[in-house]
Amino acid sequence: MTTSRKHDAGGLPGDFAIWIFIFAELLVFGVFFLAYAFSRANNVELFNESQLHLNRIAGAANTVVLLTSSYFVVRAVAAIRADNARRCGHWLLSAIGMGSVFLVIKMFEFGEKFSAGISLSTNTFFMFYLSLTFFHFMHVILGIVILAAVLLKARSGGYSAANHTGVETGASYWHMVDLVWLILFPLVYVIH
């Protein structure tokens, strides 16, 4: 079995099982985004007014942070394809670091909102804002856990150029988390 080159044949990288999970997650987020759009269409003023209270700078910063982390993950996959497990580990660690930065910025943002007395029950906009961002927040945590598991295995020499499905699996999940944010950020923070 030529596991290392299968992505050239147009197959999905990583384990197929993670893709079932990714599809399910994208479906949930997709429906959530549609629900947001539908709700917004019925309450444009409320949404526009409430949106002004969001911290766009923090959101934009987090977009850059996640994109960077995704880039690091790409480099990690490239490193293991070149059979360089050590470098792969470094890139993974950097990606995890960026993921943690995302969490810190996000927690700062949540803290800001909570201290202003905003909760899920404040209004429909904040219900969506908190639901979507918290749901995504948990995905970042899960993504970090997955990358950490991949990192541990990479460090103990579990991957090689011939066999690195695990790295691709973790990378696929992380890109999904990033992708969701790339839709979430403009949709909830920016589009007015």
- Of residues 109 through 138, those in contact with other proteins by CB under 8 A are 119-121, 127-128, 131, 134-135, 138
Binding flags for other proteins, 31-50, as an x/- string (CB under 8 A):
xx--x---------------
State which residue, 28 or 182, has the beta carbon closest to other proteins.
28
> What does the DSSP assignment read for 80-131?
HHTT-HHHHHHHHHHHHHHHHHHHHHHHHHHHHHHHTT--TTS-HHHHHHHH
Taking the complex as a whole, the smallest distance from the CB of residue 144 to other proteins amounts, in Å, to 13
Interaction of residue 158 with other proteins, rule CB under 8 A: no
Long-range contacts (CB closer than 8 Å, 24 or more residues apart) made by 73-78: 73/147, 73/170, 73/171, 73/174, 73/175, 74/171, 76/167, 76/171, 77/13, 77/164, 77/167, 77/168, 77/171
State which residue, 108 or 114, has the beta carbon closest to other proteins.
114
Selected from 4, 19, 87, 105, the binder of other proteins by CB under 8 A is 19
Selected from 50, 62, 133, 169, the binder of other proteins by CB under 8 A is 169
Interaction of residue 104 with other proteins, rule CB under 8 A: no
Q: Which of 109, 139, 106, 119 is nearest to 29 (CA)?
A: 139
The DSSP letter of residue 54 is: S
Interaction of residue 152 with other proteins, rule CB under 8 A: no
DSSP SS3 for 149: helix
Taking the complex as a whole, the smallest distance from the CB of residue 123 to other proteins amounts, in Å, to 10
By the criterion CB under 8 A, which residues form the site for other proteins? 1, 3, 6, 11-21, 24, 27-28, 31-32, 35, 119-121, 127-128, 131, 134-135, 138, 142, 145-146, 165, 169
